[in-house]
Amino acid sequence: MDQEVGVKVATEQAIGPGPEAAGGGDVVVDFETRTVPHQALLDGKAEIAKLQARYRPERRRRLKARALVIAGPSGAGKSTILESYAEDHPHLTDSPDGDVRRVILVEAPKRPTQRSFVAAIMRALGSKARDTWNTDEIIAKIGWLCDELKVELILIDEAHHLCEHISQDNEEDVSEFLKSLLNRLGTQIVLAGLPSLLHLRDYPQLRRRMQPPVVLHPYSWSSIEGRAAFMAMLGLFEAQLGLPEPSFLFEHETAKRLYCATGGYPGLVSKTLSEALSVALERKARRIDLALLGQVWERFEPAGAPQLSADPDARPMPARELARGTARNPYLAGKDAFLKLWARMAREHATMSERANRRRPRQLAYRPVRDDVEERLAA
């Protein structure tokens, strides 16, 4: 395939002298802490940059603050997008304006109240809410801190916690609360989380303040562009491995099996290759091949105890061969077994897509934001 040839050349040029020449550094840590600039990551960061560009300093006429939702299943790369964007905009402690934090990253509490959520934002701003403050007072303090620190953008990870395990009426209260936060802070906000976060767009009072959402799907194997992008991502990951010999992960057979095992999600690809790199270093392997990837899969999906033979005089076999179920292993399965694994992966894709697009059964009616929202937030 043409895309394989292009990726092969780029990867061979990018591969370094290998971990032996790396000066004894922690190769696995280096691999996991580097950001691989694959296409979905670049597209997500571009949308965040467009939102940040709406920010205007106090001396200029300000645009209304808006929110951007980045939604996708686990492993789709949401957190990586936010973390990479925050790394691109580090805090400045010695600028002429003093402490400047143009971009702050917040992780939403798992079971947040309005108070604990805004308190988490305060901690990211380097401050702490007093126990005697109510939510309204905390929001006012956050607004003051954002102005003082010149905060242009607040990135909120795991934001689906804000609307999980709550009723539809309470979900509407969350939408009103977020709109109030946008109004009071004047700072652009990015909300990243599971697809359930998209339900916030069902409420007109908040929808008008939201950018078009970024929905992270796995790379597509069915389109020319999607397959080429997935193979290119594998080439980028391989260039970061630093092994002595090229593994050619992007070649059709290996790429196909990596896709089947990970569903095409960048986060799962990264996790798999990190473990594969660890195993390769342990065994002094010069490259990653399907056999090694199959062993990594077995680490994550351990087989049960081998069954006892009914014949005590039967010739014994190595424990690994008894326990290994190659029909379940996407890297080692034969053609027929692999096709069944691929079909199951495709069904899981369809199920996740259906779940992400599902909406509430009853029609949402527009209700204007109540005048007492500030009093209710302060309660």
- The pLDDT-based confidence of 360 (bands split at 50, 70, 90) is very low
Length of the chain: 379
Residue 60 has what pLDDT?
A: 60
Domains of the chain: 2-34+220-307+316-354 (no CATH), 67-210 (3.40.50.300)
Q: What is the dihedral of CA 194, 200, 206, 210, to 10 degrees?
A: 30
Rounded CA gap, 199 and 125, in Å? 28
Residue 353 has what pLDDT?
A: 65
- The pLDDT-based confidence of 284 (bands split at 50, 70, 90) is very high
Q: Are 368 and 208 in contact (CB under 8 A)?
A: no
* Average pLDDT of span 126-154: 85
- The answer, yes or no, to whether residue 229 has pLDDT greater than 90, is yes
Residue 259 has what pLDDT?
A: 96
Q: What are phi and psi of 191, to 5 degrees?
A: -115, 115
| Helical pair 39-52 and 78-87, crossing angle rounded to 10 deg | 60
Q: Which of 160, 161, 124, 122 is nearest to 140 (CA)?
A: 122
Query: Cα 320 to the chain's mean position, in Å?
Result: 34
**Residue type at 379 in one-letter notation:** A
- The answer, yes or no, to whether residue 321 has pLDDT greater than 80, is no
Residue 219 has what pLDDT?
A: 92
Residue with tokens 């007093």: 130
- The pLDDT-based confidence of 13 (bands split at 50, 70, 90) is very low
Average pLDDT over the chain, rounded to whole?
Answer: 81
Rounded CA gap, 251 and 173, in Å? 50
Strand duo 98-100 + 92-95: pairing:
antiparallel
- Range in 75-84, 122-131, 228-237, 337-346 the model is least confident about: 122-131
Residue 168 has what pLDDT?
A: 63
* Average pLDDT of span 209-221: 92
What percentage of the chain exceeds 90 in pLDDT? 42
* Average pLDDT of span 242-271: 95
* Average pLDDT of span 289-317: 81
* Average pLDDT of span 9-24: 47
- The pLDDT-based confidence of 61 (bands split at 50, 70, 90) is low
Q: What are phi and psi of 97, to 5 degrees?
A: -95, 10
- The answer, yes or no, to whether residue 254 has pLDDT greater than 90, is yes
Q: Are 219 and 230 in contact (CB under 8 A)?
A: yes
**Residue type at 100 in one-letter notation:** V
- The pLDDT-based confidence of 366 (bands split at 50, 70, 90) is very low
Q: Does residue 361 or residue 46 have the better pLDDT?
A: 46
Residue 319 has what pLDDT?
A: 61
- The answer, yes or no, to whether residue 156 has pLDDT greater than 70, is yes
Rounded CA gap, 25 and 13, in Å? 22
What percentage of the chain exceeds 70 in pLDDT? 78
Q: What are phi and psi of 103, to 5 degrees?
A: -130, 125
- The pLDDT-based confidence of 169 (bands split at 50, 70, 90) is low
Q: Give SS3 for 233.
A: helix
- The answer, yes or no, to whether residue 309 has pLDDT greater than 80, is no
Rounded CA gap, 126 and 325, in Å? 52
* Average pLDDT of span 325-339: 88
Rounded CA gap, 65 and 174, in Å? 17
Q: pLDDT digit string (tens) for 88-125?
A: 999 887 777 678 899 999 998 887 777 888 888 889 98
- The pLDDT-based confidence of 134 (bands split at 50, 70, 90) is confident
Residue with tokens 């996991």: 32
Beta strand ranges found along the chain (DSSP E): 67-71, 92-95, 98-100, 103-107, 153-157, 188-193, 214-215
In this structure, how many other beta carbons lie within 10 angstroms of the beta carbon of residue 262?
22
Q: Does residue 299 or residue 134 have the better pLDDT?
A: 299
Distances (CA, A) of 297 to 259, 274, 282, 311: 13, 12, 16, 31
* Average pLDDT of span 11-40: 67
Angle at 376 between CA 373 and CA 379, to 5 degrees: 155
Whole-model pTM over 0.85? no
